[in-house]
């Protein structure tokens, strides 16, 4: 059996986008659990919740939308930076957005927390790119089986 990530966190206010992105991840079979949060605030609350064993949920991958009401992706990142090292762990944060603004793309490149910048909708090719770059040890055999 191939290895998988324990958790992937989707942060997006669009139910339709979350449905599509969750299906792509499920079909790829590369995560045991996919958590969906419809706002930056809900995602921060989730990441800040300490379990009875003193551990935080720490997904290995976060797919973050930029354009959300109340707290956009940039504001989420500002608050995310204030979390403790235990809460952030080694989370890979990737922007997944409909924004075609060159300013957003340029800004993402200047932020060390943003490891990838992709346009919606997430597809198998984009997901494969993320995994090749950030989780190469998990994709041996997986990519070949999808092509």
Closest CA to 115 of 98, 103, 132: 132
Q: Which residues of 128-146 are buried (b: 16+ CB within 10 A; e: fewer)?
A: bebbeebbeebbeebbeee
What pLDDT, in 10s, does the model give residues 33-57? 999 999 999 999 999 998 888 889 9
pTM: 0.91
What pLDDT, in 10s, does the model give residues 76-123? 999 999 999 888 888 999 999 998 889 999 999 999 999 999 999 999
Residues, the chain: 147
What span, in angstroms and rounded, lies between the C-alpha atoms of 36 and 59? 11
Query: Domains along the chain?
Result: 5-141 (3.40.50.2300)
């Amino acid at each position: 059996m191939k290895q998988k990530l324990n958790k992937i966190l989707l942060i997006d206010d669009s139910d339709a986008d979350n449905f599509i992105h969750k299906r792509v991840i499920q079909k790829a079979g590369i995560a045991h659990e996919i958590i969906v949060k419809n706002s930056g605030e809900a995602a921060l609350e989730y990441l800040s919740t300490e379990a009875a064993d003193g551990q935080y949920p720490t997904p290995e991958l976060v797919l973050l939308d930029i354009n959300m009401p109340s707290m956009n992706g940039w504001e989420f990142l500002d608050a995310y930076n204030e979390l403790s090292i235990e809460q952030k762990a080694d989370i890979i944060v990737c922007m997944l957005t409909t924004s075609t603004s060159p300013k957003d793309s340029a800004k993402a490149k200047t932020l060390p927390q943003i490891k990838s910048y992709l346009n919606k909708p997430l597809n198998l090719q984009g997901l494969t790119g993320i995994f090749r770059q950030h989780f190469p040890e998990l994709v041996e055999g997986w990519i070949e089986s999808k092509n």
